[in-house]
Amino acid sequence: MPRAIVIRAAEPTEGGPVNTAAVEQIDPARLGDDPVLVEVHYSGINYKDAMALTGRPGIVRKTPLIGGADLVGTVLESADPRWQPGDEVILNGTGMTENRHGGFSELARVPGDFLVRLPDGLTQARAAAIGTAGYTAALCVLRLEQAQVSTEAPIVVTGATGGVGSIAIALLAGRSYQVAAMTGRVDQYGAYLRGLGASDVLDRREFAGQGRPLQKARFAGAVDTVGGEVLANVLAQTLYSGTVAACGLAGSPMLPTSVMPFILRNVTLAGVDSVQTPLPLRQAAWELLATSLNPQLLDSLTQTVTLHETIAAAERLMSAQSHGRIVVDVRG
């Protein structure tokens, strides 16, 4: 019987987790009736996965559910003519770990519509190292490039040591942007961030608290994974006609700002979602990653865990004790 991490509703307790997660053996007949059967080789732990695995509310919408917002593997059977046995595929988001079984499973049944073919030159393990985090970073970079952000001033990346942040830095630096990495852990990870390509490392504390709506402008754009006051202060420091790609809420889902940066500096706040992204944009993001992300840098920011080690690794991610990307070797 294949193994998977199954998330189940917990016994209700005051303030306790709403769900529990454990490695179980699963009946393949209960994987649903989607047309493509995939032998999953790798998944990864994203912020959302860590929330789901540690029983936080707001992610999992039905139980029992197999966790894992990402999967990378090989097609075993397909009733969808676009996919054949032996095809190497990637699937991110599309409701996995929310209302659809995900990639922490040796077998998965998935729809063919949002599968991306593994790009040439990328291994399955590296595609999982990129995962939703890296693919979201690529969506943010595409958004900045579409807006033709200036290369004359830095792009600031917030939550820099995280999965999205680390890959955004490596991608932007690889495409010749100046990158300022903002982190809450300058002493511990300053050298790591410079190694990824950041030319400057900023202390998140300088961006805490309510600042003036317009401050000294210094960023051509931003990739923001943090939200809250940090995002408000980044907007206030964005240069005329700059673009800020906002994809995360690691600090806060709130945005205490004013319209000033938008109406006086022509700043654009561009929202980025990775879950419901249309297929052509998914393919463009993966192409960007396959061609612009230095594989050695990717390896340097990745650690690998087994299925049995996944829940403990999720706990570390939620308590900000990890950095970079965590790949799950599903058969390990």
Ligand X SMILES: NC(=O)c1ccc[n+]([C@@H]2O[C@H](COP(=O)([O-])OP(=O)(O)OC[C@H]3O[C@@H](n4cnc5c(N)ncnc54)[C@H](OP(=O)(O)O)[C@@H]3O)[C@@H](O)[C@H]2O)c1
Q: Which residues bind ligand X (CB under 6 A)?
A: 46-48, 132-133, 136, 159-165, 183-185, 204, 225-226, 247-251, 272-275, 317, 320, 323
CA distance 118 to 90: 6
> Please, what is the minimum distance in Å from the beta carbon of residue 300 to ligand X?
15
- Three-class SS of residue 205? helix
Instruction: Quote the CA–CA distance of 79 and 283 in Å, as a whole number.
Output: 22
In terms of CB distance, is 56 or 331 closer to ligand X?
56
Joined together, the tokens standing for residue 258 give 């004013």
As measured in angstroms, the least distance from the Cβ of 171 to ligand X is 13
Instruction: Between 101 and 204, name the residue whose CB sits nearer to ligand X.
Output: 204
Least distance CB 304 / ligand X (angstroms): 15
Query: Which CB, 58 or 295, lies closer to ligand X?
Result: 58
Contacts of 103 (CB under 8 A, 6+ apart): 40, 42, 43, 68, 69, 70, 71, 72, 91, 96, 328, 330
SS3 133: helix
Nearest to 202 by CA among 175, 246, 169: 169
Residue closer to ligand X by CB (options 171, 250) is: 250
- Nearest residue to ligand X by CB is 162
Taking CA atoms, 292 is separated from 139, 142, 281, 288, in Å, by 13, 12, 16, 6
* R_g (Cα) of the chain, nearest Å: 20
- Amino acid (1-letter code) at residue 326: I
Shortest Å, Cβ 325 to ligand X: 8
Query: Which is closer to ligand X, CB of 77 or CB of 273?
Result: 273
Whether the CB-CB separation of 262 and 236 falls below 8 Å is answered with no
Tokens of 118: 């593994």
Q: How far is the CB of 151 from ligand X (least distance, A)?
A: 24
Distance CA 313, CA 321 (A): 9
Please state the closest distance from residue 119 (CB atom) to ligand X, in A: 20
| CB of residue 264 to ligand X, shortest distance in Å | 27
Between 106 and 224, whose beta carbon lies closer to ligand X? 224
Minimum CB distance to ligand X smaller for 67 or for 159: 159
CA distance 94 to 183: 29
Name residue, tokens 């040796």. Answer: 106
